Structure 1
């Protein structure tokens, strides 16, 4: 892999972060693990959690529209991105939520508004169930952890073939993952895709373990009746978790509302950042 290509990716990320008024920071927990996170803006703390196989930068585009009103904090989960990747750690959503609690305490954040996409939504709901007094609101974006709803292409393909469409062992498979999660993928230079693919490929063994642990955990009984105000956002064209899943979560959380976005896939905050920020601000204004 070319050093120049890696440098170009780093430069692009740096520019996007600056535009969003986000700064890259690190914190080492008393337990020894190091989190790398983005932090910026002023106002109530909005803690955002990325999904499986993703990184903190999945939220940079929408963060650019939120840092004027909120302090936005976006960590890489342990096991992903630049954060530590302890080989034999417990990566279940409960374990990740407990680590996140230590992260929040280390930064002195106190009570937060909490958002998450996909696996990040799974962890966010778990965090809210474990620490309900420390979550002011939830923003669930195509969240995982709800398995009683309709099956999507991900589960159907996995059962039929044994292949997980969210992991990549080759650069071609990474390109397929990108097309699978984004309804209308933007054109990305091959050199950039190559750098991103190599990072995923290198993390493949750990990703397989994390996927298995997340898939074995259901959040439904954990959050049933949880009264925290919740905005549920879903892409109409989500091939990972179909939009019917939003109805299941809505039934579980009595103080929730649902927004379904047409022509959007599994990553609304990346595919439609303006609409997502607008809907989130409107939701917060109603609280």
Structure 2
């Protein structure tokens, strides 16, 4: 027993030091957690300045064909970090913070429509020397990816569409029905308590995340509230996706969570009918963010889809 006491003291001391670090410096601790996760996935944080002067921050790792992954509204580049762990062995994975989010610039007067973001991303890819690419996008990111494919068909090798926003023919979601009935729009969460509601809304089976990490992410997003309100209007007033989709010929993998409360799962079948070369997967027990709820499953499905494409 006497031999165990020094070890117990060391363990308790380390636990106390960790708790103190979280309490006194939650932001650096959160950044360290994300940095470790990126390193495990073979992704490195980088940044560049676009020709128009806007600063873009992104993750990059791996070699091979370029794979551009786009996060959704109020998300950031780390929504794809754990999925990237399964992709960097075979592809050059590029995951930016979209303009208005994360560490990238947040100009209030920018054009945030999906087509404008697609053109901005094209300039970003040109600056990286990555012309032709596979594109993946979650929610708003999928909407932007579809516009990119319509604008630059020769440079779009395939699409990975994870519950993309704006699909014509989809039924109103639980959230849309609640807002139409006069309820609050949780996507526009304005304090940490509402962010807890948002966290519960977007995922049916969320991964473990320490409360202090959730608070740090909420505080970061709240600092950009005015910009996010502007982006929300630009994205959700846009009705051009139906026309853009008609020009998309790239092979596509459509993935949707059966329990998606943000965008109704009927969008999967609707998009499958609109895209001539689409495969559709509906995931049981999954909500709006499959890349966070089932990262290994969606990565394996995606690699199988890519493996079945004709070589270029």
TM-score range, shorter chain: over 0.9
Deviation per CA, 1:69-127: give whole Å up to 9, x if none: 11100000000000001111110001101101110111110100000000000000000
Residue 303 of structure 2 is matched in structure 1 by 281
Q: CA deviation at 1:60?
A: 0.4
Question: 2:24 & 2:232 partners in 1: Cα distance?
Answer: 30
Decide whether the 8 Å contact of 1:226 with 1:252 is kept in 2.
no
Distance 1:240 1:20, change over 3 A: same
For the residue of structure 1 that corresponds to 2:105, the secondary structure is coil
Match of 2:262 in 1: 240
**TM-score normalised over the length of structure 2:** 0.89
State the match for 1:59 in structure 2.
80
The root-mean-square deviation of aligned C-alpha atoms, in Å, is 1.3
1:61-210 matches, cutoff 5 A: 61-161=82-182, 163-210=184-231
Aligned to 1:14: 35
Displacement after TM superposition at 1:199 (Å): 0.9
Residues of 1 paired with 2:269 and 2:208: CA distance?
33
Bigger drift between 149-158 and 128-137 goes to 149-158
**2:276 pairs with 1:267:** no
Q: Does the CA-based 8 Å contact 2:207-2:293 persist in structure 1?
A: no
CA apart distance, 1:188? 2.6
Q: CA deviation at 1:186?
A: 3.1
**Alpha-carbon offset, residue 3 of structure 1:** 5.4
Contact 2:268-2:280 at 8 Å conserved across structures? yes
C-alpha displacement of 1:226:
2.2
Larger radius of gyration: 2
Q: Which residue of 1 aligns with 2:277?
A: 255
Structure 1, gaps ≥5 residues long:
none
Q: After TM superposition, where is structure 1 displaced by more than 3 Å over at least 4 residues in a row?
A: none
